[in-house]
Structure 1
């Protein structure tokens, strides 16, 4: 006797249906798909970039890519990983652009610009604030992997596709991220 599908499984099935319908030209399905995935893609972009406005810009550009490429998506089940990979690629381009701009700026000025504070801090609830603070110190690639694994319930293979890295790299990033989070949540090296 099989168990009824979980709410996550139902959501994945619904997303698969929406992606297939959108791919076939159903505008209402695409609108619904975008409504469901906009917050997730925005959170992913924010994890990678650490800046709300830049994340919103990247996701907007990613949706343009998604619209253009959706008809070529062979498997509707692959939509989540495919969409995340588009956002990841756009964020990587933005990070490279920022690095070039910083190098150019450093050539003209010796002062270091401070990074903007996390805009979403006000939205954090008190019970998740320590975990979110610990996640904020992780390198972007570890933060993205751990968030996709735990918040989106992606498999290692799906994360690999979304981040465009080998599965072994995902496993390594998850291992290091878990280790760092555990140490941060237990008070760092005080157990040493």
Structure 2
């Protein structure tokens, strides 16, 4: 598999952070903060919960990066940590019966609109993504927006690869129906 420049940079930053290079870790955190918040949002549907879960995830990432042996595993490993933090927060909210409905729209920073975008189609796509169940929204986000492979998404979401494939299939079907104007 050919690695992109961004992936190679992340791998270098992880390796440097493991040796105690603070600047490398700070740059790694800047590069991944938005991605981890977007991932947490896809799981929780709440921007504030997402930010809190990502922040808690960074504490665990800081403590554990020295034990990470494969730099290429960082994206899936970091997303898995944030996924666990999200699950804990949601569990607490459910136990307290305070869990509210998921937010209706994807955060703006998760989707950068191209200069020549079809605005109505983009609006329909955002609405369709927001309507997906959180599990499908998370799988779509990690696979397409974070460019992870199915195996990496499976690790990040702590589910089998077959489950990721199924979630992607159902999500694609729903998105296709909305974008083709045949929403059911």
TM-score range normalised by the length of the shorter chain: 0.7 to 0.9
Give RMSD over aligned pairs: 2.3
Q: Are the equivalent residues in 1 in contact too, given 2:104–2:131 (CA < 8 A)?
A: no
Q: What are the superposed Cα offsets for residues 108-130 of structure 1, whole Å, 9 maximum, x if unpaired?
A: xxxx9666654836997535221
Is the counterpart of residue 64 in structure 1 residue 59 in structure 2? Answer: yes
2:45 paired with 1:13: no
TM-score with structure 1 length normalisation? 0.83
Task: Give the corresponding residue for 2:152.
Answer: 158
Structure ID, larger Rg: 1
CA distance in structure 2 between the aligned counterparts of 1:86 and 1:159, rounded to whole angstroms: 12
User: Counterpart in 1 of 2:116?
Assistant: none
Whether the 8 Å contact between 1:21 and 1:30 is mirrored in structure 2 is yes
Shift of 1:155: 0.6
CA contact (8 A) 2:103 2:130 kept: no
Q: Structure 1 pair 158/26, CA: closer, same or farther in 2 (3 Å)?
A: same
Partner residue, 2:93: 98
* CA separation of 1:119 and 1:53: change in aligned 2, threshold 3 A: farther
Q: Helix, strand or coil: the match of 1:188?
A: coil
Residue deviations 1:39-73 (CA, integer Å, cap 9, x gap):
10011111111111111111110000001111111
Output the CA distance in 1 between the equivalents of 2:46 and 2:147.
24
Equivalence for 2:161: 167
Q: Residue in 1 aligned with 2:33?
A: 38
Is the 2:36–2:82 Cα contact (8 Å) retained in structure 1?
A: yes
Specify which of 92, 107, 127 is matched with residue 120 of structure 1: 107
Q: Distance in 2 between matches of 1:123 and 1:139?
A: 17
Aligned length: 176
TM normalised by structure 2 equals: 0.87
CA distance in 1: counterparts of 2:107 and 2:100, whole angstroms: 20
Q: 2:136 aligns with which of 142, 145, 167?
A: 142
Instruction: Using the TM superposition, give the Cα deviation of residue 75 of structure 1 relative to its aligned residue in structure 2, in angstroms.
Output: 0.5
Name the CA distance, whole Å, in 1 between partners of 2:159 and 2:100: 31
